Amino acid sequence: MNLTSLISKLHPLERKVLPFLKSEKELLSLVKASGMQEIEVMRALQWLENKDILHLSTETKKVIVLGKNGLKYKEEGMPEKKLLKVLTDKFQSLSEITQKSGLEKEEVDACIGILKRKVGIELQKEKELMLKLGLQGKKILSEGTLEEQFLTKSFPLELEKLTDVEKFSLEELKKRKELVSTEEIRKVTISLTELGKKVIAVKLSTGEVLNRLTPEMLKTGSWKDKEFRAYDIQAQVPSIYSGKTHFVNQAIEYAKQIWLEMGFKEMTGTMVSTSFWCMDALFVPQDHPARTMQDTFFLGGKAEKGKLPAADIIQQVKEAHETGGKSGSSGWKYSWNEEEAKRNVLRTHTTVLTSKTLAQLKDKDLPAKFFAVGKCFRNEAVDWKHHFEFNQTEGIVVDQNADFRHLLGYLRQFFTKMGFPQARFRPSYFPYTEPSLEIDVWHQERQEWVELGGAGMLRPEVVVPLLGKDIPVLAWGPGFDRIILEYYQIKDIRNLYKNDLKLSREVKVWLK
């Protein structure tokens, strides 16, 4: 930075302080000389130090300062001397002496103790305490005590520089009330750098630089022909935070946008569902492990069971399970139970929306493409990797001409747009799809394939009861939370819904 630019950025406080630095090399004297507040001077000095104009060195010292009584005695003389002055070689009573000396009773008591030790007084106990001058009394009066001499020094005194005699006096004085105390003080010494020496050689304008631009200046035009102080625009400023949508919702919005661009229509629906739509209509046999209490949330009490749909759909689904019905399958070969199908669950997958959508679909609606993004539930203990609520994205294509290659094509497109161009599809199993596949994406950091979720073509046992005939239906339902965690670099899944405002305020927005 050149000198002119540096000077133009000086703050008014810095400008005020600089001229005094020619003579003053120490904070306190600088404060005195400049007539500014200490805090203002200090701030200016620190800014100047940041600009490499000067160096500050701070040392702390122990010093002795006078207390209330110390100041008083320094000015008026020590009380023991006042007391001695009124004493003679004859005994006088305490009350008389107190009155004559003009000292407080407390002070007199203290002085008696001190003078007794120094043999300055002699005591006699009669009706009342009687005092007269002692052996050393006159000497003390003429020469003074060590403590008295100590008080005549100029305070604050540096503790380190005291002589042994002075240290003795200090200890004596410390025993007395509010005479002296030791304190720590900071001594700030200022030394100009080479740059600093150049800066103070320049004559600074003080009054003419403009600080804040005000409406007044604009109205009067007073800003004209004046100079604006340049700010230190590289300095940090306090943080403010914007309002924001939740980062999970930002990711969901993005996924939705991808499906919409590809011509998919959104499916929405309830989170509570009968097992019928969530399982039976999807050809999940009633004794399937996924339908046990360990995996699925069942509703209790009055909400335990719901109603089943129209009788013909029930019949079709029942037949598909028991014998395969019109689908050409052999079915699961067991006795399908209507009551089991009525049990309400929290949806275990968004595929429940698919089964409901298919049941509504008419021939004239084809070909049709649908998607959903939504919360699903599984009965699971919560830890950093598992949560009982999770997001899934669902998609289906119902098209007489759809085939397995199209399924792979749609998935490739979606995952590429989600930021995973390197995806692989491998065989897998779901009760409602055939062929079935699992989507793995390549994790660059971990150097391995990471499982993201399942897809497949719905089985005829699912499609025939719902649509009335076997039309190819491509379907997928990968989990979504892993993608979100990955993007935001969040390690603990609990943080997705903990709503820690610090995290929410500071997390970057979804920038895809």
**Footprint on residues 410-449 left by another protein (CB under 8 A):** 410, 412-413, 424-429, 434-437, 449
41 neighbors 165 (Cβ within 8 angstroms) = no
Residue closer to another protein by CB (options 34, 433) is: 433
Least CB distance from residue 180 to another protein, whole Å? Answer: 46
CA distance to 212, 214, 221, 248, per residue, from 218 (Å): 11, 7, 5, 47
Least CB distance from residue 361 to another protein, whole Å? Answer: 13
Six-digit token string for 459: 């089985």
Residue 451: closest CA among 417, 489, 415? 415
| Alpha-carbon gap, residue 352 to 411, rounded angstroms | 20
x-marked contacts with another protein along 151-180 as a string, rule CB under 8 A: ------------------------------
From 299, 417, 442, 490, residue interacting with another protein (rule: CB under 8 A):
299
From 125, 302, 362, 364, residue interacting with another protein (rule: CB under 8 A):
302
| Alpha-carbon gap, residue 21 to 190, rounded angstroms | 8
One-letter amino acid for residue 185 of the chain: I
Is residue 298 at the binding interface for another protein, with CB under 8 A as the rule? yes
Least CB distance from residue 398 to another protein, whole Å? Answer: 10
Q: Are strands 433-443 and 448-458 parallel, antiparallel or unpaired?
A: antiparallel
From 71, 86, 408, 490, residue interacting with another protein (rule: CB under 8 A):
408
Least CB distance from residue 326 to another protein, whole Å? Answer: 12
From 334, 385, 419, 421, residue interacting with another protein (rule: CB under 8 A):
334
Bin 340: left if φ > 0, else alpha if -120 < ψ < 50, else beta: alpha
DSSP 164: H
Residue closer to another protein by CB (options 39, 293) is: 293
Residue closer to another protein by CB (options 170, 346) is: 346
x-marked contacts with another protein along 461-490 as a string, rule CB under 8 A: x----------x------------------
Q: Restricting to residues 231-260, name those near another protein by CB under 8 A.
A: 241-246, 248-249, 253, 256, 259-260
Least CB distance from residue 352 to another protein, whole Å? Answer: 11
Q: Per CB under 8 A, which region of 10-18, 33-41, 152-160, 406-414 contacts another protein?
A: 406-414
Least CB distance from residue 270 to another protein, whole Å? Answer: 5
Peptide bond into 435 cis (omega under 30): yes
Six-digit token string for 83: 């007391």
Least CB distance from residue 235 to another protein, whole Å? Answer: 21
70 neighbors 178 (Cβ within 8 angstroms) = yes
Residue closer to another protein by CB (options 113, 263) is: 263
CB atoms within 10 A of CB 102: 10
Residue closer to another protein by CB (options 147, 438) is: 438
Q: Per CB under 8 A, which region of 26-34, 64-72, 125-133, 325-333 contacts another protein?
A: 325-333
One-letter amino acid for residue 249 of the chain: N
Q: Per CB under 8 A, which region of 63-71, 80-88, 168-176, 292-300 contacts another protein?
A: 292-300
Is residue 181 at the binding interface for another protein, with CB under 8 A as the rule? no
From 154, 499, 509, 511, residue interacting with another protein (rule: CB under 8 A):
499
DSSP 303: G
| Alpha-carbon gap, residue 310 to 327, rounded angstroms | 19
Residue 316: closest CA among 302, 301, 303, 331? 331
> Half-sphere exposure of 26 toward its Cβ, with a 13 Å CA cutoff?
6
Q: End-to-end CA distance of the chain, in Å?
A: 40
One-letter amino acid for residue 423 of the chain: A
Count of positions on this chain that bind another protein (CB under 8 A): 101
Q: Are strands 433-443 and 423-427 parallel, antiparallel or unpaired?
A: antiparallel
Relative orientation angle of helices 481-488 and 247-261, to the nearest 10 degrees:
120
Q: Restricting to residues 344-403, name those near another protein by CB under 8 A.
A: 344, 346, 367-369, 375, 377, 379-382, 387-389, 397, 399, 401-403
Least CB distance from residue 445 to another protein, whole Å? Answer: 19
Relative orientation angle of helices 404-417 and 247-261, to the nearest 10 degrees:
140
Is residue 215 at the binding interface for another protein, with CB under 8 A as the rule? no
Least CB distance from residue 291 to another protein, whole Å? Answer: 11
